[in-house]
Structures are given as structure tokens and as C-alpha cells.
Amino acid sequence: MEKKVLILCTGNSCRSIIAEAQINAFVEGASSDSSGVKASGRVNPNAKKLLEQKGIWKEEYHSKVIDTVIDNEYDLVVTVCGHANETCPMFPKAVKVIHVGFEDPDGKDFAAFEATYEEILETLLPKVKKELGL
């Protein structure tokens, strides 16, 4: 049975979308959603461009508020920014929550998004696999 992961950030426009796409593309046996505690309502154009270049962009990726996923069942919730970690809501069903923080590339050049992509790939994915026993 596939394990479910939620990536939680503040704006749900960069880091969480990148992490969601990577888990869905590269972690066999797991699928991911993402959301924001204060969702921006948009995917950062550089994040979308990067995921398109990497061949892992899906049109269903979008910025969404926590209320849209709070009742879903997850095996793991990962906060990727300090604000989300501090304000992470309690989920109705007991779920493991871990924090793996990344600097926000929003407002920076495309190279910052590429660096964030690589950092998430090298740091977050191994931790997710370990936590899920994959």
C-alpha cells in the first residue's frame, strides 16, 4: 500500500511544490501532496519552469490551503520552513511530523531555485524514505 506524505510550507509556492513533485517522481511506494499554512494561491513561475525542465511538472500542482488537505490521511507530514514548523496544525488522525528546513528561493534568481531543488533531492528524499521505511 502506498504511503502518503504531506509537504507543508507557508506559501505553498516553491519549496513544498518542488518537494511534492520530487516525492511523486522519485520515491517508489509513496505519493505526496503539499499545502501552505497561508497559501499564496500561486506556484512561483521559477519553480514551475524548473520542474518542467526536470520533466516532473504536473498540471495538478497548485498552491492550496491546509483546510483542503487537513482531513486526508497521511503517514508523514514534513514541514519545510520555520513558520510552517511553528504553526503546523494538529491533524485529526495521529501522524508523524518532521521538520527539514530549506531557505526560500522566492524573489531570487533561477539559480537559487536550482540549488533548492538539489538540496531537497539530496536532503529531504532520503529522510522521507527512512521515515516511511522505504
- Active-site position among 81, 84, 124, 132: 81
Q: Strand, helix or coil at 129?
A: helix
| Of residues 13, 14, 8, 25, the one with CA closest to residue 125 | 25
2 to 50, 63, 89: CA distances (angstroms): 27, 23, 24
Q: Is 88 a catalytic residue?
A: yes
Q: Which three cell numbers stand for residue 47?
A: 519553480
Catalytic pick among 25, 88, 95, 121? 88
Q: Annotated catalytic residue: which of 5, 6, 8, 9?
A: 9
Residue 9 a catalytic site member: yes
Catalytic annotation present for 14: no
Burial class (CB in 10 A: 0-12, 13-18, 19+), 22: buried
> What's phi and psi for 114, nearest 5 deg?
-65, -40
Catalytically active residues are 9, 81, 88
